[in-house]
Amino acid sequence: MPILDLIGQYYVAADGDFRNTFVPGQLYWAPTFYLPPHPEVLFEVNPDPREQNLVFEIRRATGESFRGSHRPLKAIGLEAEEELVAVKAKRRLVVLLSQPNTILEDLRGLVVKDRKIHEQSFVCLPLYGVHRGQGGRGFPEIVVERIQALMYTQFFYFPASSQEPQPMVYEAIGRLDRLQVFHQDTLRPNAIPLRLEPDNCLWMLQEWVRTYLTGNMSRDMAELRQELTKELYA
């Protein structure tokens, strides 16, 4: 049985005020970062003592980066041990995975930098397009088949939400090796009125995330993967 038939319905309509509920399985558009093997940082050139005309070059980070190798820049709130990192980002659909953070209201007046400590943020799973038939972009067909058979612990398959030319959710691969945290204010205005079906789809994704993060696969998931793999090579 293909995983599509096993899960059945992947998506359902989001409930109520979906822009402000932040429940696991909710879908959003968000700026997801690429993962460069060698970080690049902004290096100040021709320092302006008044910090009114800051000019930077992009350079590869070195052993001296993040160690106080530059002056602090008060104009942009940059400490000497901090760097401005230059990294590409792309707007992608993401699936919210985590629960809201704990906020203890009685400590608000006692905690330094309360806004940072008590802010709401969420772990999300970014979706990468499959791009079938577009010449080498995305995931090759054989890889997509193996992802659907749960052969890659870092990937999870998502079908398009409809057969329309521009579906709300496109066919994609969720990359657990690119999990990213977003502030709720980044997610809120870009929510879409769909979420993952909770009983089968979201449950299976949550089990797969647990497998990826802990290395411990439940018996149900192990048997399911064995069956899907057997069918793939039958």
pLDDT digits (tens, 9 = 90+) for 113-169: 556 677 899 999 999 999 766 555 779 899 999 999 999 999 999 999 999 889 999
Who wins on pLDDT, 49 or 232? Answer: 49
Which part of the chain has CATH 2.30.30.110? 3-35+90-232
Cα angle at 74 between 119 and 69, to 5 degrees? 100
Section 167-190 average pLDDT: 97
What is the C-alpha to C-alpha distance for residues 112 and 126, in angstroms, rounded to an integer?
A: 33
Residue 231's SS3 state is helix
DSSP string, 82-97: ---EE--EEEEEEEE-
Q: Report the pLDDT averaged over residues 190-194.
A: 97
pLDDT value of residue 102: 86
For residues 165-191, average pLDDT: 96
Amino acid letter for position 210: R
CATH of 3-35+90-232, one of 3.50.50.60, 2.30.30.110, 1.10.10.60, 1.10.1060.10: 2.30.30.110
Across all residues in the chain, what is the average pLDDT?
Answer: 92
Closest CA to 199 of 4, 9, 5: 9
pTM above 0.85, yes or no: yes
What average pLDDT does this structure show over 189-215?
97
